[in-house]
């Protein structure tokens, strides 16, 4: 079993690379953000608690995230391995994850940090939007539909922008990220399991850096 952790600020490209790892290496992409949005959409207890926190640009409390991850990594599709996108974000989450993995005789193989400056992240995230029908992602500057107003993937003509993808909320999320996540980077570095990549280039260049690490 292969376990990979991808660390980096919101919108740095972790999700894109995580999905590529899943497609090419059959190592399941686990996004805490996606799991939370599914809970919100379902109207579950966890979803209702998380909704208000997410809309204000804050991170959901550890106990809710840990419960989601603990349930997910025990599912059959994770037997070959999984790569975590957006988890762990805090030192308590790191300890909880280590405990979960130890109980199952699993160890972390790679921890990869994406490095991108805050100004670039604000510009990247605040310009994101997606197709209302299929969820295909776009950007007002970096990735527009080939035909204006028409989704490349499904041909739908209606789009949506996440409520938390605005400049003020993005800055709040980045502040939280630095406060909560940077101690994790120091922790994994001290343990000797941290690799760092430049998250600023295009998708293919970032992928090459990851492939060099994973082999």
Question: What are the extents of the domains in the chain?
Answer: 2-118+167-214, 128-164
Contacts of 133 (CB under 8 A, 6+ apart): 151, 154, 156, 158
pLDDT in tens, 89-129: 888 899 999 988 998 889 999 999 999 888 888 888 888 89
Architecture of domain 2-118+167-214: 3-Layer(aba) Sandwich (3.40)
pLDDT in tens, 157-187: 999 998 888 888 888 888 888 888 888 989 9
Catalytic residue numbers, as ranges: 14, 89, 128, 162, 173
Region 61-79 average pLDDT: 86
- 118-124, long-range: CB within 8 Å, 24+ apart, which pairs? 118/9, 118/171, 118/174, 120/200, 121/9, 121/10, 121/11, 121/12, 121/170, 121/174, 122/167, 122/170, 122/171, 122/174, 124/11, 124/12
CA-based end-to-end distance of the chain: 15
Write down the pTM of the prediction. 0.75
Are the CB atoms for 153 and 131 separated by under 8 Å? yes
What band does 30 get if pLDDT is binned at 50, 70 and 90?
very high
What band does 67 get if pLDDT is binned at 50, 70 and 90?
confident
């Amino acid at each position: 079993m292969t376990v990979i952790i991808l660390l980096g600020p919101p919108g740095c490209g972790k999700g894109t690379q995580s999905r590529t790892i899943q497609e090419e290496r059959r190592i399941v992409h686990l996004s805490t953000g996606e799991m939370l949005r599914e809970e919100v959409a379902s109207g579950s207890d966890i979803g209702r608690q998380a909704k208000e926190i997410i809309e204000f640009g804050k991170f959901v409390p550890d106990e809710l995230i840990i419960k989601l991850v603990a349930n997910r990594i025990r599912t059959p599709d994770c037997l070959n391995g999984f790569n975590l996108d957006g988890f762990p974000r805090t030192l308590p989450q790191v300890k909880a994850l280590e405990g979960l993995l130890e109980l199952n005789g699993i160890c972390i193989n790679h921890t990869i940090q994406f490095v991108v400056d805050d100004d670039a992240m604000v510009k990247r995230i605040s310009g994101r939007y997606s197709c209302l029908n299929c969820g295909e992602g776009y950007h007002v500057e970096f990735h527009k539909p080939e035909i204006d107003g028409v989704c490349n993937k499904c041909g739908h003509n209606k789009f949506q922008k996440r409520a938390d993808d605005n400049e003020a909320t993005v800055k709040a999320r980045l502040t939280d990220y630095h406060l909560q996540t940077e101690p994790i980077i120091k922790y994994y570095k001290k343990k000797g399991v941290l690799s760092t990549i430049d998250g600023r280039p295009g998708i293919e260049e970032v992928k090459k850096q990851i492939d060099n690490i994973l082999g």
